[in-house]
Amino acid sequence: MDNVWNDMDELIGKVLAGEGTAQEQETVLQWANESEVNRQYYEQLKTIFEKAASTEIKIQFDTDAAWNKVRKKIQKEPTRVVPLNNGKQLFNQVLRIAAGIIVLLGVGYLTYQIMAPATQTLAVVSDSFTRQDTLPDGSTAFLNRKSELTYQYNPREKTRKVVLKGEAYFSVKHEEEKPFVIEADEILVRDIGTEFNLKAYPDKDTIEIIVTHGEVQFYTRLDSGLNLQAGQKAIYSKRNKQFYRIDKPDTNALAYKTKVFSFNNTDLRSVVNLLNEVYDSKIKLANEKLYGCRLTANFKEDNASIIAEVIAETMGLTLTRKENEIILDGKGCDQ
């Protein structure tokens, strides 16, 4: 008789774990319906299995602790099962199957952890120079100076996430089933097949985005924000928690990447500030009379010193070099 019950224990455990065939499931159900003792015995095991399966499984498993946990659970839930030979034998059989189920779940979880593909991660940092890198999914990121990003792809959730501090131009390899989301401070940018520039330095109040191709969603977790298409720019104020569309984006916003400058009646002070920002140079105007001088010119040059020489020649200024500084001087301009 013990062998019969041992065989049935194994069969019940197999069925409850979802590994039994249709015929085995039918056999268990027929056996459970043969008597009240069998039915209550089966229901007891089913209850234990369901409670064990609903419990979060951790990576570390202690079978002795699991055994004791099930023992206490059964002791707290008195049953009316008629003893088979004696109550102790039935009690031990229940414990054996319950502990086996818990171990089975644990092994399954560990197998999943081992066999599942690993999360892809990448960190890119630029300090004194700009830097371009290809992300694991084939997208590219061009980082401005003093910027950093981390990329993470979760194969289980099928999500691509980037955290940006600083400024970067993204060319995203769009995959509908694998969302590409950038997190910059409190702002989120979701790719909808696109290329865009995102400027989000932690010490600045504003976060700026310019879309050059495709479309993006520019939003926060509390605000649906704006949908932007190619040629559009928007700014988010961290202080006011507000989004603002910009009708006429700055033509020099991408100069740090392209090294292309377009000045149209631009005051000389702004010209010099932009060149210093892009090249980390030290061009200075010798006197305040030069601040309001206006420049209309286009440059495509990867050398701040050469641009400064052209400006001096164009505007009739003198240029002197002092250590690592470039100094522009002159009488000023008529306002």
CATH number of 120-246: 2.60.120.1440
| Strand ranges, E, within the chain | 120-126, 131-134, 140-143, 147-154, 159-171, 180-184, 187-200, 206-219, 226-229, 233-237, 242-246, 260-267, 283-285, 294-300, 318-322, 325-329
- Using alpha carbons only, what angle is made at residue 233 by residues 227 and 234, rounded to the nearest 5 degrees? 70
> Are β-strands 159-171 and 180-184 bridged in parallel, bridged antiparallel, or unpaired?
parallel
Over 50: is that where the pLDDT of 245 sits?
yes
Longest Cα–Cα distance in the chain: 113
**Tell me, what's the pLDDT at 76?**
54
**What is the three-class DSSP state of 33?**
coil
Intervals of CATH 3.55.50.30 along the chain: 259-329
The residue type at 166: G
Rounded CA separation 332/62 (Å): 82
Do the beta carbons of residue 262 and residue 298 sit within 8 Å?
Answer: yes
Q: Higher-confidence residue: 114 or 29? A: 29
Q: Each residue of 298-320: b (16+ CB within 10 Å) or e?
A: ebeeeebeebbeebbeebebebe
pLDDT tens digits, 252-288: 999 999 999 999 999 999 999 999 999 999 999 999 9
Residues 6 or more apart whose CB falls under 8 angstroms from that of 261 comprise 252, 255, 274, 275, 297, 298, 299, 300, 307
Residue type at position 244? Y
Half-sphere exposure of 319 (CA within 13 A, CB side): 18
The CATH number of the domain covering residues in 259-329 = 3.55.50.30
Region(s) of the chain under CATH 2.60.120.1440: 120-246
Give the pLDDT score at 286. 93
Taking phi over 0 as left and psi of -120 to 50 as alpha, with beta for the rest, 166 belongs to left
Q: What is the pLDDT of residues 171-230, one digit of tens each?
A: 998 888 889 999 999 999 998 879 999 999 999 999 999 999 999 999 999 999 999 999
Minimum mean pLDDT range among 37-46, 94-103, 122-131: 94-103
